[in-house]
Structures are given as structure tokens and as C-alpha cells.
Amino acid sequence: MTALFRATVMLVTLVGLPAAWIYYGPLPTGAQKVVDRFVDVAREAMGWQHQLPVKQAWDQDKAAPRFEEAPFRQQSDESIRGQHETPQVNVSAPPSSPISLVSATLPVAQPKMAATDDLAGQLEPHFSLLRKLGAADYALAHWGSEGNLYRFHCSIPFGSEGLMSREFDAIEADPVAAVRQVVGEVTSWQNVQLDAAHSSTQWR
């Protein structure tokens, strides 16, 4: 019987009173004194002389547990700047290496004047010979529908007073070959003329 009484008092003290405090709030002053007296009697009956007052069981502030924040480690400006800055790369060329704007693999176009001068150098000896042979008029020009051929024309006067002329021309893919052909024809023709004149002189 004593055990049942102790269990009843314990349940009322530990469960009933805190529940009443939570749901109904603090008791009036007169009722609170009665409850405190009842609690003291129950403690004396059960031997709880050194326990804490029951009021502390439900008089605690209902607040969420607080956690200590980890100490904030302040980084220096140098470390922050080093994390966000992009490393600079020196892209300047070394002083000893020259900078060329033209690639060595690209062919350099030669001036057209060089090819013209070279062709004139090859043709000038033939033109000089034609002038010695008496050529009064000669010309080298492109020929053909596509202009990929060359025609060389030459006029050689003959006769006692040079009133007549003989026309020579040649068409070749190579301009030098066309001029050579005309020079050869003029030379052969004049040789024939000289032989004929020499023969007629002998028969007189």
C-alpha cells in the first residue's frame, strides 16, 4: 500500500504538476502555496529531502539550444587577392628574337618588272642584230583568243632606194622563240640576196 501511494505521489509530482503548468499557466498565489505544501509533504513521505524544488522542472525557459559559433578566421587582403586574381603571364617576346610580320612559309611575290627586265635582256641581242640587218619596224605582241601566244612582226626594206620591203612574222608560245625564228628568216633571206647580187656582178 505504501508503494502504491509513493508511485501515485511521484506521478502527480513529476507528470501532473508540470503538465498543468504548461497547459494552464502559473497557479494563483493561494493555490500555489497549497501545491508547494503538498509537494513538501510528499518529499518528506518519500524521503526526497535533498531534491531540487519541483518548480524548476517546468520553470525553465523553453528556448532552443544555443551553439557556439566557430571563430571566424579573417583572411588577409593579400590571401583574398591571391585567390581571385588571375596569374599574369608574360607574353612579350624576348629581346633577342626579331618579330616578323611575314611567315617564312609564304611565297613572296616577285615584282613583274623583274620578269620584264629579264625578257628584255634576252631579246635585246636579237633586236640589235635586226637593226644591223636594216630592220625599220618590228614589234612583239600577244596573240590568240586567250592571249597565250606571241607574234613577232618585222619589216626589212630592200631595193636600190629601199622603196620595197619584206615582211616577216612568227607566232610561238615563247616570245624569245618567235623573235629567233624571224631573225633566222631575215638572215637567210639577206644571205640569198647577197649571193644573188654577187653572182650578177661576176657575170658582168
- d(CA 19, CA 22) in angstroms, rounded, equals 5
- pLDDT at position 142 is 94
- d(CA 149, CA 165) in angstroms, rounded, equals 26
The structural domain count of the chain equals 2
Half-sphere exposure (Cβ direction) of 75: Cα atoms closer than 13 Å: 8
* Residues 181/172, Cβ–Cβ less than 8 Å: yes
- Write out the residue range of the structural domain in which residue 20 sits: 2-58
Among 62-66, 124-128, 135-139, the minimum mean pLDDT is found in 62-66
Cell (9 digits) for 79: 590571401
The answer as to whether 124 is a domain residue is yes
Average pLDDT over all residues of the chain:
71
- d(CA 182, CA 175) in angstroms, rounded, equals 11
- Residues 174-204 have pLDDT tens digits of 999 999 999 999 999 989 888 887 776 665 5
- pLDDT at position 36 is 75
pLDDT confidence band for 112 (50 / 70 / 90): very low
One-letter amino acid at 203 equals W
Q: Is the pLDDT of residue 76 over 70?
A: no
Domain termination residue (choose one: 58, 85, 103): 58
The answer as to whether 162 is a domain residue is yes
* Predicted TM-score (pTM) of this structure: 0.42
Domain termination residue (choose one: 11, 28, 58): 58
- Residues 37-56 have pLDDT tens digits of 766 766 776 665 555 554 54
Which residue did the predictor score with more confidence, 162 or 133? 133
- pLDDT at position 126 is 93
Span 107-112, average pLDDT = 48
Domain termination residue (choose one: 58, 79, 103): 58
